[in-house]
Amino acid sequence: MAHDTTVLVLGGGSTGCGIARDLAIRGVDVTLVERGNLTGGTTGRMHGLLHSGGRYAVSDQASATECIEENEILRDIASHCVEETGGLFVQRPEDSDEYFREKLAGCRDCGIPATVLSGREAREIEPYLAEDVARAIQVPDGAVDPFRLCVANALDAERHGARVETHAEVIDLLREGDDIYGVEVRHDSGPGKRTHATPGTTEEITAEYVVNATGAWAGRIGAMADLDVAVRPSKGVMTIMNVRQVDTVINRCRPKGDADIIVPHETTAILGTTDEEVDDPDDYPEEQWEVDQMIDTLAELVPIIEDARTIRSFWGVRPLYEPPGTGTQDPTDITRDFFLLDHAERDGVGGMSSIVGGKFTTYRAMAEEIADHVCAKLGVDARCVTAEEPLPGSKDIAVLEEGMDSFGLRSPIARRSKQRLGSRAPDVLEPAEDEANPVICQCEGVTRAEIQDAVEQSGSDLNAVRIRTRASMGNCQGGFCCQNMANELHPRYDEQTVRDALDELFQERWKGQRHALWGEQLSQAMLNYALHATTMNRDNDPANAPAQVDYAQFDGGA
Amino acid sequence: MAITDDVLVIGGGLAGATAALAATETAPDARVRLVTAKQSTLRHASGLIDVLGYAPGSEDHGHEQGQKQKPIVDPFAELDTLPTGHPYERVGGEAVRDALEFFDDIAGDAYAGGHTDKNALVPTHGGTVKPTARYPAATADGLASDDRDALLVGFETLPDFEAPLAAAHLEAAGAPFDARGVTLSFPGIVRDDAKVTRYAHLLDRNERVASEAGAGEIGAREALAAAVEPHLEDEPRVGFPAIVGDDRPAAVRESLADALGVDIFEVPMGPPSLPGLRLEDLLYAALENAGVRVTSGVPVVDYETADGAIDHVIVDRNGAEIPHEAAQYVLATGGLVGKGIESGRERVSEPLFDCHVPHASDRYDWFVDDVFGEQPYARFGLAPDRELRPLDANDDPEFRNLRAAGAVLGGYDYAAEKSGAGVSLATGYVAGTRAGEESE
């Protein structure tokens, strides 16, 4: 029987995109479907920590070892997505000495470079650390941009012939007897797809093999073919500060606990996190106490956070899994390891495997193992090269740094554009040399050329443009630039499409700000509201109104 | 040594300036002083004088975004229907009319719209239209409720205004004329991120710029007209983003109009807004003419009371704490944007006098999930009596001689209603008039 594709990957997060890239490079014909945007599930809702493995050095040494190996690989193949910030495990007077010793020994057992610093030495590195911080362990933690990393994987998969279909939600698994042979997807009228597929139409995509890489949603996919995949989704909050209070990843050195990490990320710092099991990964409470806890607890490590400005908070859902019968109560104790569930072996249903558990830092190793498994099933004999092959944009960052002003951009913007784009910078920025290239997003220094490049990749979906460029993710949270970003869609897209895309982005930006609504950010929110409602009348736009306005009744001039 | 005045106005935006001017007019012999801590928020404002564009609180909950109600044709006819506690209800409809007349006198030729009670519909830089009661002279030929066809001109280095998109949006909004848009490069602009004032100054000073035709240098106004001319069909009016002059906007418009043989108008823009800054200049010129003493850059940091009244306030002048005493005080420090109202995780407050600000104790009740829904935070502010004296939690005046005006007042959502400037004018006018009367 002829299939539409050899392997069908479900899920456009880091795992799915990593698998698609790995298989595509090996010459396998791959299609990936994602119900929303790439990174729209868990990948885009993480704190951006590139683990050194230090976090798991006591509790889960297998994961810790894998983390440090993958950490080193990602610094190599995706240098443009990684910032080598370094990390500190910080001990306060009330934190246990014994645990500190175990952490240090664990790091050394797992091959994680670890140095002990006195409190004073730690404060020399991070001056805002609390006065009473006793000592710290320095490890090679880093910050990683999950959006760019995931998109780079998808781009490379496409370069190797894969089909990547976003806004295509799986509505059914196609199963005949004990064989799964594909899925039915519904093409959504969602953003970015308005001109790519007919909204509301469905499509059957058949495949020799299906890989369910939907993470926290894997149980829902499994259920479509009566397979029980017992994922235990666990939510965590992350709170974004307006500036980088620290330049190093700051971890609390204690066994476990909420609110124990600060990750510097581009111009911001992200506070994390909580760990609480939820029933539905699409619908769970986002609560005030979680945000308060981030600020109150992490202020013990970095006191200025207490009065600093937070710009928004967001929540993500971990796809935790443990084999049936393990029975761990506290989600914090569930292993971060991943599991490959071959439904042929497990349930007697062929044609599909599900991937559950795991973590972002080791996405590539997971993808490799899964691709090996799939290749064995298909009889494909090709070696994995993803640990050596740089991702698009990662080559020659040093060369790019040399010509700071070569694109006629002011240097901080040029530098940041090039960091974001990596070795794709010349492709993206050169065409703009003859054309005006004004800054579209002032907070993040994103220029027209970058926005246009992102629109090229992702269509009219401004949220996809946002994750590719960081436009609208700074202090003003899009109040000043959402409109300008939308303007960039015209004339490629018509007025109605632009208006809808703007409304969607503005509403999305509001969603996260709601959890940061006090002080400066409430003031900013009022200014944004005033700009969009008072000055632009976007809340009562007659173009959206059902009834015509009778212009003749109004003042037509003296 | 304390500085002594009859009326002290705190805050230098539209409400504060109006209060100081009204106090001087009411009591010509009174010493009136205005102190401001920082730049006013007028640089964020479009420069339009909205009175009431939409009825407050009548929207349908759970509506689809952007589909609410029709704009109000006659704002003055609606003033008596407003809910108790709304600033217009507090001062009464007649006072709103008086305040607008007062403004019309101050503004003179710089503003239009006073010939009728009706709202005008003005194009926005996003492309839709909004109702407003008064508009700058620069916008007078740009009304969307005027049925003449229009050519909109945008510039490739000004990403805030995409003229062809705005023209298409006007059509979608049902505007009764044909609008077309073109995007040009602005003569003489060499940097992609030049400030809006750079565009305005090029035109103000008619700086020499390279001519398109390669014929040496010509004036910026002439060069701009020459760039627009080939795109003009038979539209009788041409609109630009609001960069058409800073100090000499009328002269710039006239040069362009003469060169092109059409009327020239500006589409109001977001921050930094030249029409907002021009309004600020107009107000400060009026304050100077009226003899109001203006001290800028000085925050009020403390106050003392005597017998339920404010005895004096302490003003920080470069680190020196100077007492200022007056018989009457007007608080016009702005809302959340101007920082006349502040908030923390636990509480919303008025930072100078700690006047009572009604608000929910749980900060998750300060907002609703639809960004354009009925936002409780947008209504934060002081609740005054009909004299505009802020009331405490027991509905008694906080201080006998303190009145409040403008966005520091609560109980209205100026963004949804399009009532910001009107409320500032009306409450500034009433607070200033009463303060003037009682200072004597």
- Highest mean predicted confidence (pLDDT) among A435-439, B37-41, B165-169: B165-169
Assess B143–A contact: CB distance below 8 Å, yes or no: yes
Tell me the one-letter amino acid at A439.
Answer: V
Report if residue A416 sits inside a domain.
Answer: no
Report if residue A528 sits inside a domain.
Answer: yes
A187 and A122 belong to one structural domain: no
Tell me the one-letter amino acid at A274.
Answer: T
Residue A103: CB partners within 8 Å, gap ≥ 6?
A54, A57, A58, A89, A137, A253
- Residues A230, A360: Cα–Cα separation, whole Å: 20
pLDDT bucket at A395, cuts 50 / 70 / 90: low
A284 and A158 belong to one structural domain: no
Structure tokens that stand for B432 in this block: 């200033």
- Compute the Cα dihedral for A132, A137, A140, A143 and give only its sign: negative
pLDDT bucket at B2, cuts 50 / 70 / 90: confident
Contact B132, B414 (CB under 8 A): no
What residue spans in chain B does CATH classification 3.40.50 cover?
A: 125-267
The length of chain B in residues reads: 440
Pure H helices in B218-355: 220-228, 249-260, 274-289
Assess A89–B contact: CB distance below 8 Å, yes or no: no
| A354: CATH | 3.50.50.60
The shortest CB-CB distance from A539 to any of B68, B112, B159 is to B68
pLDDT value for B284: 95
pLDDT value for A433: 57
Inter-chain residue contact B158 with A438, CB threshold 8 Å? yes
- Which residues of chain B have a CB within 8 Å of the CB of A410? 193
Assess B184–A contact: CB distance below 8 Å, yes or no: no
- Using DSSP's 3-state secondary structure scheme, residue A187 falls into strand
pLDDT per residue as tens digits for the range A190-217: 443 333 556 778 899 999 999 999 999 9
Tell me the one-letter amino acid at A197.
Answer: A
Among A319, A134, A73, which residue's Cα sits nearest to residue A220? Answer: A319
pLDDT per residue as tens digits for the range B172-210: 999 999 999 999 999 988 777 788 989 999 999 999 998
Mutual angle of helices B196-204 and B249-260, in 10-degree steps: 70
Judged against a pLDDT cut of 60, whether residue A409 lies above it is answered with no
- Which residues of chain B have a CB within 8 Å of the CB of A507? 65, 370-371
pLDDT value for A412: 44
Domain count, chain A: 3
Tell me the one-letter amino acid at B60.
Answer: D
Report if residue A192 sits inside a domain.
Answer: yes
Beta strand pairing status for A261-265 and A268-272? antiparallel
A106 and A72 belong to one structural domain: yes
Report if residue A206 sits inside a domain.
Answer: yes
Residue with tokens 């997971």: A366
A281 and A157 belong to one structural domain: no
A490 and A366 belong to one structural domain: no
A247 and A308 belong to one structural domain: yes
Helix (H) or strand (E) holding A342: strand A338-342
Residue B243: CB partners within 8 Å, gap ≥ 6?
B158, B196, B199, B200, B203, B266, B269, B274
Tell me the one-letter amino acid at A143.
Answer: A
Judged against a pLDDT cut of 60, whether residue A343 lies above it is answered with yes
Among A356, A409, A365, which residue's Cα sits nearest to residue A386? Answer: A365
Span B3-108+277-439 CATH architecture: 3-Layer(bba) Sandwich (3.50)
Judged against a pLDDT cut of 50, whether residue A505 lies above it is answered with yes
Contact A251, A260 (CB under 8 A): yes
- Residues B372, A536: Cα–Cα separation, whole Å: 12
Q: Poorest-confidence range of A7-11, A419-423, A533-537?
A: A419-423
- Residues A211, A205: Cα–Cα separation, whole Å: 13
- Residues B179, B239: Cα–Cα separation, whole Å: 10
User: Which residues 267-296 of A are in CB contact (within 8 Å) with B?
Assistant: 288, 292, 295
The shortest CB-CB distance from A535 to any of B144, B192, B270 is to B270
Judged against a pLDDT cut of 80, whether residue A406 lies above it is answered with no
Assess B144–A contact: CB distance below 8 Å, yes or no: yes
pLDDT per residue as tens digits for the range B304-337: 999 999 999 999 988 889 999 999 999 999 999 9
pLDDT value for A418: 64
CA dihedral A38, A41, A45, A46 (to 10 degrees): -100
| A298: CATH | 3.30.9.10
- Residues B187, A308: Cα–Cα separation, whole Å: 43
- Using DSSP's 3-state secondary structure scheme, residue A303 falls into helix
Q: 3-state SS of A428-453?
A: HHHHHHCCCCCEEECCCCEEHHHHHH
- Over the range A419-454, which residues count as b (16 or more CB within 10 Å of their CB) and which as e? bbbbbbbbebbeebeeebbbbbbbbbbbbbbbbbbb
- Which residues of chain B have a CB within 8 Å of the CB of A498? 165
Contact A99, A257 (CB under 8 A): no
A139 and A56 belong to one structural domain: yes
Helix (H) or strand (E) holding A105: helix A97-109
- Over the range A28-41, which residues count as b (16 or more CB within 10 Å of their CB) and which as e? bbbbbbbbbbbbbb
Structure tokens that stand for B21 in this block: 């001017």
Range(s) of the domain holding residue A281: 50-144+235-317
DSSP type of residue A81? G
Which residues face A115 on adjacent strands? A138
- Compute the Cα dihedral for A351, A355, A360, A365 and give only its sign: negative
A114 and A177 belong to one structural domain: no
The span from the first CA to the last CA of chain A, in angstroms, equals 76
DSSP E strand stretches across B268-372 = 293-295, 300-306, 309-317, 320-331, 342-343, 348-349
- Which residues of chain A have a CB within 8 Å of the CB of B377? 517, 522, 525-526
- Residues B174, A326: Cα–Cα separation, whole Å: 64
Contact A185, A168 (CB under 8 A): yes
A25 and A164 belong to one structural domain: yes
Beta strand pairing status for B342-343 and B348-349? antiparallel
A226 and A239 belong to one structural domain: no
Span B125-267 CATH architecture: 3-Layer(aba) Sandwich (3.40)
Q: What is the mean pLDDT of chain A?
A: 87
Judged against a pLDDT cut of 60, whether residue B9 lies above it is answered with yes
Q: How many CB pairs under 8 A join A and B?
A: 236
What residue spans in chain B does CATH classification 3.50.50.60 cover?
A: 3-108+277-439
User: Which residues 115-154 of A are in CB contact (within 8 Å) with B?
Assistant: none
Judged against a pLDDT cut of 50, whether residue B351 lies above it is answered with yes
pLDDT per residue as tens digits for the range B366-386: 999 999 999 999 999 999 999
Residue with tokens 């923390």: B344
Choosing among B372, B379, B419, which should be mutated to test the A contact, i.e. which has the most A CBs within 10 A? B372
Contact A349, A225 (CB under 8 A): yes
The length of chain A in residues reads: 558
Burial bucket for residue A289 (CB in 10 Å: 0-12, 13-18, 19+): exposed
pLDDT per residue as tens digits for the range B131-169: 999 999 999 999 999 999 999 999 999 999 999 999 999
Contact B421, B107 (CB under 8 A): no
Contact B267, B257 (CB under 8 A): no
Assess B230–A contact: CB distance below 8 Å, yes or no: no
The residue in chain A having the minimum alpha-carbon distance to the alpha carbon of residue B132 is A555
- Residues A470, B106: Cα–Cα separation, whole Å: 45
The residue in chain A having the minimum alpha-carbon distance to the alpha carbon of residue B177 is A551
Render B376-415 in DSSP notation, one character per residue.
Answer: GGGG-SB-B-TT-PBB-TTSSBS-TTEEE-GGGB-S--HH
A313 and A454 belong to one structural domain: no
- Residues B440, B434: Cα–Cα separation, whole Å: 10
Structure tokens that stand for A286 in this block: 């986002």
Among A358, A367, A361, which residue's Cα sits nearest to residue A336? Answer: A358
Report if residue A387 sits inside a domain.
Answer: no
Judged against a pLDDT cut of 90, whether residue A548 lies above it is answered with no
Q: 3-state SS of A239-253?
A: EEECCCCCCCEEEEC
A214 and A349 belong to one structural domain: yes
Pure H helices in A6-83: 14-25, 61-77
Pure H helices in A110-173: 119-125, 146-159
Judged against a pLDDT cut of 90, whether residue A307 lies above it is answered with no
Q: What is the mean pLDDT of chain B?
A: 93
How many other CB atoms are found less than 10 A from the CB of residue B235?
Answer: 20
- Is the pTM value of this prediction over 0.80? no
pLDDT per residue as tens digits for the range A234-273: 999 999 888 889 999 999 999 877 889 999 988 789 999 9
Which residues face A310 on adjacent strands? A241
Inter-chain residue contact B156 with A436, CB threshold 8 Å? yes
Counts of helices then strands in chain B (DSSP H, E): 11, 19
pLDDT per residue as tens digits for the range B43-97: 889 999 999 999 986 444 334 444 468 899 999 999 988 999 999 999 999 999 9
Residue B156: CB partners within 8 Å, gap ≥ 6?
A435, A436, A438, B183, B184, B185
Structure tokens that stand for B285 in this block: 């010129």
- Residues A89, A273: Cα–Cα separation, whole Å: 16
